[in-house]
Structure 1
Amino acid sequence: MQIVLGEGAHFLCHTYPNDPESGPILVIDTSGVTFRLTNRVRGGVEVGDVRNARRLLEVVSRFVAEVERLHAQSSERAESAAESAA
């Protein structure tokens, strides 16, 4: 799965369902920087990997909530300004 965020920013998740020895690889590639995240030990996902993935999900979820909140706030201001101008 690949997600493109703006020009030159890509988020990918490589999975290998037919190869249990290979864990997933999360890749963030943007502005000349590439970040790869995978499990610590090749050949198996450990409990620490699961905890880290859950922490990552929590952080990303907080980021999404804040982006949505700020967008809604911005939209409300824009609507108020349009109503005031009318």
Structure 2
Amino acid sequence: MKRSSIQRTTKSLLNMRDRIRFDLPFQRSRVGKNDRRSYLDDSVIRDRYIPNILVWNNGDRYIWVIDGKQRWESVYFFADGESTS
């Protein structure tokens, strides 16, 4: 299995939205703690470190999120203007 590490911008993650899949059976539910979402949003705005998101590209057209679903969804919520309060 080929392994690689790629840094992406928030904009590039948003542009990949239609290819991202979260529906693996071991994934947790959606982000529930608004204070954590707010902290992540602030980190994105201030260009601070965001922990890695582990994905799997098995050759189909999708990128499967193994770890980082809540972080990735938080970025989507923020981009869509969904409130964190």
Band the TM-score falls in, shorter-chain normalisation: under 0.3
Q: Give the helix-richer structure, 1 or 2.
A: 1
Higher strand share: 1
Higher relative contact order (CA 8 A, sep 6+): 2
TM-score, L = length of structure 2: 0.25
TM-score (norm 1): 0.25
